[in-house]
Amino acid sequence: MKFKRLAEYFNQIEGVSKRLEIFDIVAELFNESRAEDIDKIVYFCQETLLPPFHGVELGLSSKYMIRAISDAAHTPTKDVEASFNDLGDLGLVAEKLVDKDGGLSVLQVYEELLRVAEESGKGSTSRKIELVVSLFNGLSPLETRYVTRFILGKLRLGIGDPTMLEALAHVEASRSNNVPLSAIPSQSLKKDDKLETFNNLDKIPEILDIARELTEDYFGDKSPKEDVYQNRLASNYFKSLLELRRSIREPLERAYNICSDLGLIAKTFKESGLDAIRDFKINVAYPIRMALCERLSSGEEILRKISALEAANLTLDEDTSITRFEKIAIEVKYDGMRCQVHKNGTDVQIFSRNLERMTHMFPEIVEATRSLEAETIIFEGEALAYDEVTGDLLPFQATMQRRRKHNVKNMAKEIPLKLFAFDLLYLDGQDFTMKSYENRHGILADLLNKSTQGVIEVSVTSIVNDPEEIEQIFNSYIEKGLEGIIAKRLDAPYIAGARNFNWIKLKPSYKSELADSIDVCVIGYYAGKGKRAQFGLGAVLGALYDPDTGTFKSVSKIGTGFTEDDLKQYYTILSKIKLDGKPSHVESDMVPDVWVKPKYVLTVTADEITRSKMHTAGRDNEGRGYALRFPRAEGLPRMDKSATDATTVKEIIDMEARQNKTKSG
Active site residues: 333
Of 278, 281, 265, the closest CA to residue 30 belongs to 265
At residue 53, what are phi and psi to the nearest 5 degrees? -70, -10
Between the CA of residue 592 and those of 118, 284, 544, 545, 643, what are the distances in Å? 36, 43, 16, 18, 18
First-to-last C-alpha distance (Å) of the chain: 62
Q: Which residues contact 183 (CB under 8 A, 6 or more apart)?
A: 174, 177, 218, 219, 241
Q: Which amino acid, 64?
A: Y
* Strand, helix or coil for residue 559: coil
Looking at the DSSP assignment, which residues form a beta bridge with residue 293? 500
Looking at the DSSP assignment, which residues form a beta bridge with residue 522? 542
Is the four-CA dihedral 428, 431, 437, 439 of positive or negative sign?
Answer: negative
Q: Which residues contact 474 (CB under 8 A, 6 or more apart)?
A: 299, 484, 485, 506
The pairing of beta strand 484-489 with beta strand 499-506: antiparallel
Q: Which amino acid, 313?
A: N
DSSP 664: T
Looking at the DSSP assignment, which residues form a beta bridge with residue 241? none
SS3 string, 355-416, reads: CCECHHHCHHHHHHHHCCCCCEEEEEEEEEEECCCCCCECCHHHHHCCCCCCCHHHHHHHCC
- Alpha-carbon span 419 to 343, nearest angstrom: 15
- Alpha-carbon span 636 to 644, nearest angstrom: 17
> What is the number of other CB atoms lying within 10 angstroms of the CB of residue 264?
18
- Cβ contact 506:484 at 8 Å: yes
At residue 623, what are phi and psi to the nearest 5 degrees? 85, 15
- Cβ contact 558:606 at 8 Å: no
- Cβ contact 339:352 at 8 Å: yes
Of 166, 163, 149, the closest CA to residue 19 belongs to 163
Q: Which amino acid, 156?
A: R
Of 16, 99, 433, 26, the closest CA to residue 262 belongs to 26
- Cβ contact 143:4 at 8 Å: yes
Between the CA of residue 561 and those of 304, 338, 612, what are the distances in Å? 36, 25, 22
